A and B are shown apart, each in its own frame.
Chain A
Amino acid sequence: MARYLVGRDPEPQLVERYRRAVERLLPAPASSDRRILEYIQSNPWSLGPLDAACGLLRKDAQLRQRLLIATAILETTPKGADRFLPERRAPWTLLPEIAWHGAVAAAKAVAGAVILLAVIRA
């Protein structure tokens, strides 16, 4: 998840912090949540598309909640500051960059919706 979110592997203490947070904040996953999480474990490439699909179709999915927990843990580290504190962009690059992220999100969501339906119905 850390590699997906911020492009680097987490330190062991962050993994342990994440494990404790999930244990503390989340109940055992329901069957559909479990299927999604298992699918991602065997197909790590599907994390992005399934995240996008859940963001639109299943905001309360445990995948999203786990990603938010991981985000919170990554953000509150000195190393995370560089990845989360505001970043300045020139006006002529800001809008294209936001548009690019939007387009990537839309493409992921379309692919993710197909996978999501298939995984849940499987």
Chain B
Amino acid sequence: MIDVAVVGSGASAVHAAYPLVEAGLRVAMVDVGEEDRRYGNLIPARGFEQIRRSDTSQHRYFLGDDFEGIPLGPVRVGAQLTPPRQHLAAALGKLPIDSPEFHAMQSLALGGLAAGWGAATPPYTDEDLAGWPITRHDLQPHYDAVARRVGICGTDEDDLDSYYGASPFLLPPARIDSNAVRIRSAYARRREWFNDRGLHLGHPRLAMATRRFRGRGPTRYLDMEFWSDADGGVYRPRYTLEELRRHSNFEYLSPMQVDSFARLTNGGVRVLGRDLAAQVGIDFECRRLVLAAGAIGTARIVLRSLGAVGAPVPLLSNPYTYYPCLVIKSLFGPTRDRRHSLTQVMMYHRPADEKAALLQAQVYSYRSLLTFKLVKESPLPVRESIRVMRLLQSAFVIVGVHHRDDPAEWKSLKLQDAETGRLSVHYSPTDDETALRMSRERELMRLFPRLGCIPLKRIDPGEGSSIHYAGTLPMSENSAPLTTRPDGSLRGADDVFVVDGSVFPTLPAKGLTYTCMANANRVGEGIAEWFERRGAI
């Protein structure tokens, strides 16, 4: 019998599997593992501008063979997924869900949604973890273990130190682009003024190899991160999966989709699903089952397995909006061509005079997402837009704003049909909550002109647009049904463990992926210790 079966291959799955494999347990990772086989190999490992000037095949990956990279109509969720990344969003037919008011992006890709993740790795502090049954102290060794595995660049010597806490293992910070340099120097000139108004900014922590690290990188600053992983700079879960596959006690079973599980009377778990290649059912037993199919996917498996049709579980997602902005000094000064496309400046904002929740804002430079998408949003004639955008483009930045999310009656997910696994989502913010978000954003954006950065427009892609989903099976000390224990085990199915964002009781504004990985490592170590105590290793 397999010791542990892990469902999924995303950020949580691989870091839960890692300590189990290292402990010598027999681990099987069960995954659909969809991959982009169309575009990845077409993209040269060259810089964005060089590609633009020389590659005659660029239209294939920039626009897509079916022109899926030309977004017409209103801004939609997932617009940031370029054609080479669109395989990350699974076809709805495979994972049925009714969610008219909430965009629920689900993935069956190898590496899950983290295969296109923006790589920001802010750790949670005790303040972020308020109301959780675990503390930063519990997570710290696991943040460190994951940092040593994925390679996190950044510094602990700027104003974001208190938002991150101790981080003993950091690669050198990534080089920042000209817009970021100008924003940071405007901040440095009036630092106290900004701090008095609750704004702190600094280098982002990114899962990016700024020097050669575990056989990948260093990042070559190609500005192609939205399109390709050609230089291996940005961490993707498949790198850890490749390490795991070198162990003889690890097996990667793909393409297989797990639908449900059943508890065995003599201990252990029976796993049921489908082999998508052979088009036959799968049915095997393991001693422990680890679910890491994403907050929505894991909830589907649990609700189907426990027959909990119609029972609402919470659903959390960071509300997200973004603001195209112009960095005025960049209109006139020189710019650096070599850069990465991910977060250049990280900001945290909380008005100093109240106990409001923290906002996270990330500044990206726009260039590599192509001009025609900006032209689409312009009220000018297309011809004049092209000319104006060309003059302004080097000064364009996108500021993405994340809000925290807490459980509420109006945010829930239910299983509609156990046979098909169809889910439904109810997620409809109250007017008060929407107004609060707007007012918090207005407060933040009022500070931007002093950073030399003029917000042009607010774009709200809709609920669920952060693609940060969590909270469906929250960890809790209370023994309520459809919750998990602090050790990750599922109440009602003790041999089943949940390691993805499902277990988050609240969702701080900071990105969740690093904490998913650290918590998965924590739960994985706990399971390995259980086997060790029983003398099974």
Check if B63 sits within 8 Å of A56, measured CB to CB.
no
Check if A109 sits within 8 Å of B381, measured CB to CB.
yes
How far is the CB of A96 from the nearest CB of chain B, in Å? 11
Check if A86 sits within 8 Å of B380, measured CB to CB.
no
Check if A72 sits within 8 Å of B383, measured CB to CB.
no
**B331 contacts the other chain (CB 8 A):** yes
**B391 contacts the other chain (CB 8 A):** yes
Q: Which of A17, A51, A56, A98 is in CB contact (< 8 Å) with B391?
A: A98
How far is the CB of B24 from the nearest CB of chain A, in Å? 51
How far is the CB of A5 from the nearest CB of chain B, in Å? 6
Q: Tell me the nearest residue of chain B to A60, going by C-beta.
A: B73
Bitwise interface map of A from 79 to 111 toward B, beta carbon under 8 Å scored 1, else 0: 011111111110100100110011011001100
Complex CA–CA separation, A83 to B383 (angstroms): 11
- B-binding segment of A28-36, A37-45, A61-69, A113-121: A61-69
Q: Tell me the nearest residue of chain B to A51, going by C-beta.
A: B381
**A15 contacts the other chain (CB 8 A):** no
Interface size class of A (residues with CB under 8 A): 35 or more
Residues of A with C-beta under 8 A to B378: 55
Complex CA–CA separation, A20 to B53 (angstroms): 24
Residues of A with C-beta under 8 A to B381: 48, 51-52, 55, 105, 108-109
Complex CA–CA separation, A108 to B52 (angstroms): 31
Given A77-B58, A87-B391, are A68 and B384 also a contact pair (CB < 8 Å)?
A: no
Residues of B with C-beta under 8 A to A68: 70, 72, 372, 375-376, 382
**B479 contacts the other chain (CB 8 A):** no
Residues of B with C-beta under 8 A to A84: 52, 370-371, 386, 390
**B190 contacts the other chain (CB 8 A):** no
Complex CA–CA separation, A105 to B56 (angstroms): 32
Complex CA–CA separation, A85 to B48 (angstroms): 10
Complex CA–CA separation, A26 to B72 (angstroms): 9
Complex CA–CA separation, A94 to B55 (angstroms): 30
Complex CA–CA separation, A28 to B367 (angstroms): 33
Check if A51 sits within 8 Å of B390, measured CB to CB.
no
**A24 contacts the other chain (CB 8 A):** yes
Check if A86 sits within 8 Å of B393, measured CB to CB.
yes
Complex CA–CA separation, A80 to B375 (angstroms): 15
Check if B380 sits within 8 Å of A101, measured CB to CB.
yes
Residues of B with C-beta under 8 A to A59: 379
Q: Tell me the nearest residue of chain A to B380, going by C-beta.
A: A105
Check if B59 sits within 8 Å of A76, measured CB to CB.
yes
Given A68-B375, A69-B70, A73-B59, are A85 and B52 also a contact pair (CB < 8 Å)?
A: yes
**A25 contacts the other chain (CB 8 A):** yes
How far is the CB of A108 from the nearest CB of chain B, in Å? 6
How far is the CB of A67 from the nearest CB of chain B, in Å? 4
Complex CA–CA separation, A71 to B373 (angstroms): 10
Check if B54 sits within 8 Å of A78, measured CB to CB.
yes
Check if B379 sits within 8 Å of A55, measured CB to CB.
yes
Complex CA–CA separation, A56 to B69 (angstroms): 24
**B320 contacts the other chain (CB 8 A):** no
Q: Which of B56, B375, B390 is in CB contact (< 8 Å) with A77?
A: B56
**B434 contacts the other chain (CB 8 A):** no
How far is the CB of A84 from the nearest CB of chain B, in Å? 5
Q: Which of B53, B63, B376, B390 is in CB contact (< 8 Å) with A73?
A: B63
Bitwise interface map of B from 331 to 375 toward A, beta carbon under 8 Å scored 1, else 0: 110110000000000000000000000000000000100111001
Bitwise interface map of A from 1 to 24 toward B, beta carbon under 8 Å scored 1, else 0: 000111000000000010011001
Residues of A with C-beta under 8 A to B379: 55-56, 59
Complex CA–CA separation, A86 to B370 (angstroms): 11
Q: Tell me the nearest residue of chain A to B394, going by C-beta.
A: A86
Check if B380 sits within 8 Å of A52, measured CB to CB.
yes
Residues of A with C-beta under 8 A to B387: 101
Check if B67 sits within 8 Å of A21, measured CB to CB.
yes
Check if B388 sits within 8 Å of A65, measured CB to CB.
no
Q: Kindly name the residue among B56, B66, B73, B384 whose own CB sees the greatest number of chain A CB atoms within 10 A.
A: B384
Residues of A with C-beta under 8 A to B386: 5-6, 71, 83-84
Complex CA–CA separation, A89 to B252 (angstroms): 55
Complex CA–CA separation, A60 to B73 (angstroms): 7
Residues of B with C-beta under 8 A to A60: 73
How far is the CB of B427 from the nearest CB of chain A, in Å? 27
How far is the CB of A89 from the nearest CB of chain B, in Å? 6
Check if A78 sits within 8 Å of B53, measured CB to CB.
yes
**B62 contacts the other chain (CB 8 A):** yes
Complex CA–CA separation, A104 to B384 (angstroms): 8
Check if B63 sits within 8 Å of A76, measured CB to CB.
yes
How far is the CB of A103 from the nearest CB of chain B, in Å? 10
Q: Tell me the nearest residue of chain B to A91, going by C-beta.
A: B332
Check if B383 sits within 8 Å of A25, measured CB to CB.
no
Check if B367 sits within 8 Å of A86, measured CB to CB.
yes
Check if A76 sits within 8 Å of B370, measured CB to CB.
yes
Q: Kindly name the residue among B335, B371, B381 whose own CB sees the greatest number of chain A CB atoms within 10 A.
A: B381
How far is the CB of B21 from the nearest CB of chain A, in Å? 43
**B49 contacts the other chain (CB 8 A):** yes
Q: Which of B53, B58, B372, B384 is in CB contact (< 8 Å) with A71?
A: B372
Residues of A within 8 A of B (CB): 4-6, 17, 20-21, 24-26, 48, 51-52, 55-56, 59-60, 64-65, 67-69, 71-73, 75-78, 80-89, 91, 94, 97-98, 101-102, 104-105, 108-109
Residues of B within 8 A of A (CB): 49, 52-56, 58-59, 62-63, 66-67, 69-70, 72-73, 331-332, 334-335, 367, 370-372, 375-376, 378-388, 390-394
Beyond contacts A71-B375, A82-B53: 20 other A-B pairs, Cβ-Cβ < 8 A, are: A21-B67, A21-B70, A52-B384, A55-B379, A55-B382, A68-B72, A69-B67, A69-B72, A71-B372, A71-B386, A72-B372, A75-B370, A76-B370, A78-B55, A85-B49, A85-B393, A86-B391, A89-B391, A105-B380, A105-B384
Q: List 21 A-B contacts (CB under 8 A).
A: A5-B382, A5-B383, A21-B63, A48-B381, A59-B379, A68-B372, A68-B375, A68-B376, A71-B371, A72-B70, A73-B59, A76-B63, A77-B56, A83-B386, A84-B371, A88-B334, A91-B331, A101-B387, A101-B388, A105-B380, A108-B381
